[in-house]
Amino acid sequence: MERISVSADRDYEILIEINWQKSIEPYLNNRGQVAVIVSETMRERITDLPQTDAQIHIFTVPDSEAGKSFATYQKLLDWLGAAGFTRNDLVIAVGGGAVTDLSGFVASTWLRGIDWIAVPTTLAAMVDAAVGGKTGINSEYGKNLIGSFYSPISVLVDLSWLDTLSDRDFAAGLAEVLKSGFIADGQIVELLKAKTLSEVRTNQALTLELISRTVTVKAKVVSGDFKESFDREILNYGHTLGHAIELHSKYMLRHGECVSIGLVFAANLANQVGILSDEITTLHVSILERLGLPVSYESRHWPELRANMAIDKKSRSGTLRFVAISEIGKTLRIEAPVESDLLAAYERLCS
Ligand SMILES: NC(=O)c1ccc[n+]([C@@H]2O[C@H](COP(=O)([O-])OP(=O)(O)OC[C@H]3O[C@@H](n4cnc5c(N)ncnc54)[C@H](O)[C@@H]3O)[C@@H](O)[C@H]2O)c1
């Protein structure tokens, strides 16, 4: 087992390579009630419940973004209310990032905050969504608009969940892994260089090392800047165009797939303005492509993507700001790039 510490609104640990039912037992002592929040698809996999004297309730919510709705949030609060959840009780989120985001938000607002534990079941949630204490739901005005910064008391990363994850979702998680490599850990880039998706998936030691390195990057960044005032923004490498594509695709593409295209764009832009070498720019494309991730988008969509980027939360006072790298592990910002550079960077990734 590996332990990675986070120091944010509270100090907590991310435990990696554990059996979640066993590892959760100490957290259940002296609890009256426990709510396990799980998505419909994952419900059947909750069989052996942890040993505890507490009363366990299992609350099933719709999968993915459908669960991150105000209606589901309200239903969960009603369930907690009807069951009489107190400050001493516990919420356990078992699922992908959608479930951990939703459950963390429920925990953060019930009685002004009760304890919660994240048990991420997708690669993306293990390395990203469940780490860092951002919780939330979607509003009709946009994604993640309602939320809070509220850390869990622990994150339990049980790798056995990954056995049933689709190749598509596994690859999407790897986009975030590679992002962490480019911004802060060159060894991740080395480990992924020349690897296919199946070479990663079938190599458990490699998967474990990638998860633990990526979580370490995020834990360090989040511990230094929990509320994203500046330093945490580096985690948004590839996300400015990524979010714009996510919105444009009406969320039909996975978050990690959009980040993959966004990473290529960010590298192209840095190369275009003369701060990133051709070699590292091309490396973005070759690694992502070999992992089976998308690296291009249609040229005709640029006007809409450009408009979407303008409303992205990382644009400040009307100017666009991009996280970029000048070499592996060295981040900087590109502020208000000229339109011709943006367009050129986009044209280079068009199919
Ligand atoms: N809070 C944060 O810092 C943060 C960071 C990144 C992403 N997010 C959020 O996370 C969400 C995306 O998370 P995600 O990529 O995990 O997607 P997801 O939660 O939508 O899950 C993707 C699919 O995988 C299924 N699934 C989950 N675990 C499985 C398993 N072990 N085997 C088989 N199928 C499984 C789910 O039922 C779902 O259909 C988005 O809502 C995004 O906004 C949050």
Give the confidence band of 48 by pLDDT, cuts at 50, 70, 90.
confident
CA of 76 from ligand 1 middle (Å) equals: 19
What pLDDT sits at residue 86?
98
What pLDDT sits at residue 317?
58
CATH number of the domain that 8 lies in?
3.40.50.1970
Q: Are residues 184 and 326 in the same domain?
A: yes
277-299 average pLDDT score: 98
Residue 313 in this model has a pLDDT that exceeds 90:
no
Please report the atom of ligand 1 found closest to the CA of residue 42.
37
Q: Are residues 132 and 208 in the same domain?
A: no
Q: Give the structural domain span for 141.
A: 2-164
| 37 phi/psi in degrees, rounded to 5 | -100, 125
- Which of 108, 141, 164 is the C-terminal boundary of a domain? 164
Give the confidence band of 316 by pLDDT, cuts at 50, 70, 90.
low
Q: How far apart are CA 301 and CA 349, in angstroms?
A: 12
Whose CA is closest to atom 5 on ligand 1?
129
Q: Are residues 128 and 238 in the same domain?
A: no
What pLDDT sits at residue 228?
77
> Inter-axis angle of helices 255-272 and 278-290, to 10 degrees?
160
32-41 average pLDDT score: 96
- Which of 118, 133, 164 is the C-terminal boundary of a domain? 164
Q: Are residues 237 and 132 in the same domain?
A: no
24-53 average pLDDT score: 92
Torsion of CA 297, 346, 179, 119, to 10 degrees: -40
DSSP E strands, 216-347: 321-327, 330-335
Q: Residue for token digits 């120091």?
A: 7
Q: Are residues 178 and 298 in the same domain?
A: yes
pLDDT in tens, 234-258: 999 999 999 999 999 998 999 999 9
What pLDDT sits at residue 229?
75
CATH number of the domain that 229 lies in?
1.20.1090.10
Whose CA is closest to atom 30 on ligand 1?
165
Q: Mutation test of ligand 1: which of 122, 163, 180, 260 has the most ligand atoms closer than 8 Å to its C-beta? A: 122
**Whole-prediction pTM value?**
0.96
Residue 199 CB: number of other CB atoms within 10 A? 13
Please report the atom of ligand 1 found closest to the CA of residue 40.
37
Q: Are residues 12 and 113 in the same domain?
A: yes
Residue 310 in this model has a pLDDT that exceeds 60:
yes
Cα–Cα separations (whole angstroms), residue 116 to 17, 92, 134, 142, 192: 20, 6, 13, 25, 33
What pLDDT sits at residue 92?
98
Please report the atom of ligand 1 found closest to the CA of residue 63.
37
CA of 348 from ligand 1 middle (Å) equals: 30
Whose CA is closest to atom 2 on ligand 1?
129
Q: Are residues 130 and 220 in the same domain?
A: no
User: Per mean pLDDT, which range of 86-100, 196-210, 219-233 is the poorest?
Assistant: 219-233
Q: Are residues 181 and 256 in the same domain?
A: yes
CA of 337 from ligand 1 middle (Å) equals: 32
What pLDDT sits at residue 19?
93
Q: Are residues 154 and 118 in the same domain?
A: yes
CA of 275 from ligand 1 middle (Å) equals: 34
Number of domains the chain is built from: 2
21-37 average pLDDT score: 95
- Which of 117, 140, 164 is the C-terminal boundary of a domain? 164
Cβ(146)–Cβ(138) under 8 Å? yes
User: Per mean pLDDT, which range of 50-59, 191-200, 209-218 is the poorest?
Assistant: 50-59
Task: Please state, for a pLDDT cut of 70, what percent of the chain lies above it.
Answer: 98
Which among 269, 281, 268, 264 is positioned nearest to 327, based on CA atoms?
281
Residue 45 zone, left/alpha/beta (φ > 0; ψ -120 to 50; rest): alpha
Q: Are residues 196 and 160 in the same domain?
A: no
DSSP states of 15-75: EES--HHHHHGGGGTT-SEEEEEEEHHHHTT--SPPP-SSEEEEEEE-SHHHHSSHHHHHH
CA of 121 from ligand 1 middle (Å) equals: 8
Q: Are residues 187 and 282 in the same domain?
A: yes
Whose CA is closest to atom 8 on ligand 1?
129
Whose CA is closest to atom 15 on ligand 1?
124
Q: Are residues 265 and 208 in the same domain?
A: yes
CA of 347 from ligand 1 middle (Å) equals: 30
52-79 average pLDDT score: 96
Contact residues of ligand 1, CB 6 A cut-off? 39, 41-42, 63-65, 68, 95-99, 101, 121-122, 124-125, 128-129, 132, 134, 144, 161, 164-165, 169, 172, 255
Residues 6+ apart with CB under 8 A from 98: 39, 63, 64, 65, 67, 68
pLDDT in tens, 109-153: 999 999 999 999 999 999 999 999 999 999 888 888 899 999 999
Whose CA is closest to atom 6 on ligand 1?
129
CA of 351 from ligand 1 middle (Å) equals: 28
Residue 13 in this model has a pLDDT that exceeds 80:
yes
Q: Chain-wide mean pLDDT for the chain? A: 95
Q: Which residues are catalytic?
A: 112, 134, 176, 218, 228, 232, 236, 239, 243, 255
